[in-house]
Each structure stands twice: as C-alpha cells, then as structure tokens.
Amino acid sequence: MKSPSNVMRQSSLTKLGSIINTAVNKRAGNGDIQWCFSQVKGTLEDDVTEADIISCVEFNHDGDLLATGDKGGRVVIFQRDPISKNSIPRRGEYNVYSTFQSHEPEFDYLKSLEIEEKINKIRWLKRKNPAHFLLSTNDKTIKLWKVSERDKRVEGYNTKEENGTIRDPACITALRVPTIKPMELMVEASPRRIFANAHTYHINSISVNSDQETYLSADDLRINLWHLEITDQSFNIVDIKPTNMEELTEVITAAEFHPAECNVLVYSSSKGTIRLCDMRSAALCDQHSKLFEEPEDPTNRSFFSEIISSISDVKLSNSGRYMISRDYLSVKVWDLQMETKPIECYPVHEYLRSKLCSLYENDCIFDKFECCWSGNDSAIMTGSYNNFFRVFDRTTKRDLTLEAARDIAKPKTLLKPRKVCTGGKRKKDEISVDCLDFNKKILHTAWHPSENVVAVAATNNLFLFQDKL
C-alpha cells in the first residue's frame, strides 16, 4: 500500500493542471551574531553509505546529552565533555556516550510493504532518576529506551558461579554475603516499551506531553495519543482520512504538544495550515480550536505555489506563546493569540524562487527542512542547501547564513557569513546560486536548551557550533 503522501506526490507529477500538495544572543560589536566551530562528529569522506546519513538530532532537556538517529536505524548519544562544560568560557564539546541499534528493517507480509529501519524522530523524556529515557520511531514502530550507567558489579553469589552458571546445591556448604566492587563504567541501552501496530501510514512526528505520562504520534492522516505505560492501546485524537481516498487533498506533516498546557496540541498540513486543538473540548479533535493560515499573495501565485506552501515542520516556543512553521522558502513566527497572519516572516532562500522548475524536476522541492528555537526564544535556526544553515535574530532582525563546511579544521574557528549572488557581477566572498550543491542539504538542526550551542546534521556528519566568546 502506498502512503497518501506518495500518492499525492505522484499525482502532482502526472496531473500538471491540478497539483495536490505533498505533502543568541552573544553579539559582536557590529551587532551581528558570531559563531565559531566547536567540533565535528563523523567521517569527512566522499563515499557515504545511505545507512550513515543522519535523519534526526535532539538535545535532552538540560543539554548534557545529544542524540542522533540515522537511516541505518542506529541511535548515537553524545555526552557533553565535563571539562568543556566547566571551563571559562564554557565550550560546547561532546563525546560519544552510547551507541545502539534502535530499529531493524522489517517486512509487512499482509501489505507487501518494506518497513525501513530509518529513525524518523527522537524525543527525550525529562529525567526523573539516574537513568535517561528517550523515544525513537521509524515509519511504524515507536520504542522507549532506557539508557543507564553501571560502574559496580556484585561478586560472591551463593547460588551461581562468577561466570553466571548455576551451582549444584549439594556443593553449597556455607552462606556468604555478596560484595559490591567497582568496575569500568558501562553504559547500557535497553528497550523498555515497544509501541507498534497503531499506524497505517508512515509516522512523521512524536511529541512527549508536558505531563510526562502521555505522548502523541502522527502519521499522514491520523494522530494517536499514547500512555507511556500502555503499549497495546492508543487513542485516535485526530483523523483527517476522507471516506473516499480519491478525495484526499492534504496530509498531516508535523505535530507537537504545547510545552506547558497538556491539553493543547498543534499540527500542520501540506496545505500550509496549522491547526490548534484542545483535548478538553472533545475526545476527537477533528474540529480544531484555532486555524493559522496566511492568505496567499496573488502576485507570487505560480504552478508551484501549493507545493512550496506545504509546512514541513512546526515548533512551539519554549515559553509557549509563539510557534514557528517552516515551508519550502521561509520560516514564519506565529502568535498563538493571532490566527490571521504570522507576526514575523523570514525568507530562508528566496533566491531559489527562480529555480523552482529545476528543483521540481530533481525532487528537491519535496525536501522537508526542520526548524528550531533558541533556548530563550530570541532566535530561530533552519537549514538550506550547499550545507548552509540560517540563523535569524528576532530582536535585531538580523540574519546570518553559515556553512557546515568540511574544511573547518580547528575548534574556535570563526565562521564567515556566506552570501549567495543571484545575478550580475559576483563579489569575491559570494557564491553564485548556480554553483549551489543541492545534494548537500541541512535538514536537521537542534539548539541547546539554555546555551548558544547548536548541532547541525550534514549528511553523515554532526557539526557543533557555539557563539563567539
């Protein structure tokens, strides 16, 4: 069975007449935000396997851990280096903490469908004990992982040998008290819950509720509500599947819970709309409480308007007052109290508007870029092509284009702002829009919850940057 998003995409490729959507504040003297290179994790090689490509990046709630998932189903957790954390000034350096295989490739025999092992999303739970917990999901199955440390071992058992074999009771002639001895630190990752068989279509979002007891999972047409302790039952809270699938006009692209109000959630669609739902009003949230949609500018109307208006990501601010949405060409800031239009709009790569035809032909127009907030909601970050990523300062209205380049060799190297030339005579430090590499793209980014440290996934490499200190 094909997912609705694939059906919609094929429809847009064949029916040209009726397209259906497919889906910081440390500043230098001149007022610009300045960033410097911290470190890179990965191998800077030209031969990259598909399984090594990073598919999601996520800091935990205090920023001491950073998790990445890849298309091979692996999760790699990095831990902040204690020396860099306690140094003055503080540095954003991370070391590998744990690596484990989260998902394996599967095959649905009833639907003759291959299920990829690719990790679509990772979400951390707030820490309640010495262990860490995180949710990871591929297209169909969500898993809750426990990551814990062990630096002591027990010796001197009565009923078993040191290698674990059971002793013959007849050989036990005396009782002894087991002793605890130190051992080399071992980090263990174990699956605690497996939430499966609840989605017909591909899961694109998971979000932990502020109550830390429930979470949502969203696919192309439905959003389910789960309890973290119950694996065999979930509640369908949003269902936009039409009675006749030929009448399908939009799909869900992203969903997220409010950071403070456990009854509020938002989800975006391929039609460029965002719906806010209140679970107190009805068990089934098909009737939204608020609809955020910007009227289309008739002057920019084109063959590709519906495709580029599709929202690929939506993130509520840490304060819970605002949210950002990312479409193909821009990032928009919305006030939850105002539905009619965004309060801010930042063009990410407006110079690509003239290239939409070629981007459509090479399928780049269907790329799904993510976006993220800084810890204090004063800045926004999102990715672009040519390994560029963009930082927008909401206070000064300044923006910055930076590059996650492989030629950065040393930590503390100051990143030079990049500029794209759209025509005419090109200046020395500019790059022509015709020279951009569309195979190099920053789709996944994350911002430290309390410091100006950012993580940027560039193919199989994880770049870490921090503001200039």
Tens-digit pLDDT profile for residues 310-361: 999 999 999 999 999 999 999 999 999 999 999 999 999 999 999 999 999 9
Inform me whether the pLDDT recorded for 149 exceeds 50: yes
Interval 116-136 mean pLDDT: 97
**DSSP one-letter code for 362:** T
The answer to whether residues 206 and 256 touch, using CB atoms and an 8 Å cutoff, is no
State residue 209's pLDDT score: 98
- How confident is the model over 77-122, as pLDDT tens digits? 999 999 888 888 788 899 999 999 999 999 888 888 899 999 999 9
pLDDT (0 to 100) of residue 296: 82
Question: Torsions phi, psi of 300, nearest 5?
Answer: -100, 5
User: Which phi and psi (to 5°) does residue 158 adopt?
Assistant: -90, -40
Cβ pair 228, 274 in contact under 8 A: no
The larger pLDDT score, comparing residue 438 to residue 9, is at 438
CA dihedral angle for residue 406, residue 415, residue 315, residue 116, rounded to 10 degrees: 0
Which strand ranges, in their side-by-side order, compose the sheet holding 453-458? Answer: 35-41, 461-467, 453-458, 444-447
Q: Is the pLDDT of residue 12 over 70?
A: no
d(CA 199, CA 219): 7
30 pLDDT higher than 50 = no
The predicted model gives 233-250 an average pLDDT of: 95
DSSP E strands, 42-128:
54-59, 65-70, 74-80, 94-101, 106-108, 113-115, 121-124
Dist. CA 53–CA 119, nearest whole Å: 10
pLDDT band at 24; cut points 50, 70, 90: very low
- Averaged pLDDT, 280-306: 89
Per-residue confidence (pLDDT) for residue 2, from 0 to 100: 44
The encoded tokens of residue 336 equal: 């939850």
Is residue 22 predicted with pLDDT exceeding 60? no
- On whether the CB atoms of residues 195 and 234 are closer than 8 A, the answer is yes
Q: Rounded to whole angstroms, what are the CA distances from 313 to 45, 100, 223, 266, 273?
A: 30, 27, 15, 11, 11
Q: Indicate if the pLDDT at residue 233 is higher than 90.
A: yes
Q: How far apart are CA 380 and CA 291, in angstroms?
A: 23
Contact 369, 315 (CB under 8 A): no
CA distances from 186 to 68, 149, 357, 419 (A): 20, 6, 53, 46
CATH number of 32-467: 2.130.10.10
What distances in angstroms separate CA 84 from CA 92, 271, 449, one per listed residue? 6, 45, 17
Per-residue pLDDT, 161: 79
